[in-house]
């Protein structure tokens, strides 16, 4: 019975950690964490190579955090440019690239309009 209780508590704590929502400004403190970042989209930009960046906290290069959609997944995100100026949350694991925190987006389910 104690084992079942311990497992239940562990699952509850794991779910609580993953459900945490932070601001784009806080993202740099959560590298390696699976988390949700919520804020207003400052800019959505697709490069000539087909990579799309969803910037928060300012326009490139002054943004503080971003979501990135690589060309191989671009067809899954048909309305991504309509997110500019809207409050959204994106979920995933925070990584650093060129000194900025990012979440790589592979599924539209990682984005929620708030």
Q: Where are the domains of the chain?
A: 22-113
Which residues, in sequence order, are CB contacts of 23 under 8 Å at separation 6+? 37, 38, 39
Using a pLDDT cut of 70, give the percent of the chain over it.
83
pLDDT attached to residue 25:
98
Residue in the structure block whose two tokens are 């960046």: 53
**Residue 13 above 90 pLDDT?**
no
Please state which architecture CATH assigns to domain 22-113.
Answer: Beta Barrel (2.40)
Query: What's the distance, CA 95 to chain centroid?
Result: 10
> What does the pLDDT average to over 33-49?
97
- The pLDDT > 90 percentage for the chain reads 83
Residue 20 confidence (pLDDT) above 50 = yes
What pLDDT does residue 78 have?
Answer: 92
Asked if residue 66 lies in contact with residue 34, where contact means CB atoms within 8 angstroms, the answer is no
Q: What is the DSSP letter of 19?
A: T
């Amino acid at each position: 019975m104690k084992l079942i209780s311990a497992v239940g508590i562990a699952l509850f704590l794991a779910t609580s950690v993953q459900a945490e929502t932070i601001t784009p400004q806080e993202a740099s403190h959560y590298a390696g964490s699976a988390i949700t970042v919520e804020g207003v989209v400052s800019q959505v930009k697709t490069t000539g190579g087909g990579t799309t960046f969803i910037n928060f906290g300012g326009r490139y290069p002054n943004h503080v955090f971003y979501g990135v959609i690589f060309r191989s997944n671009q067809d899954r995100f048909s309305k991504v440019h309509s997110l500019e100026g809207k409050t959204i949350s994106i979920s995933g694991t925070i990584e650093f690239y060129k000194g900025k925190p990012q979440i790589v987006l592979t599924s539209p389910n990682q984005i929620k309009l708030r």
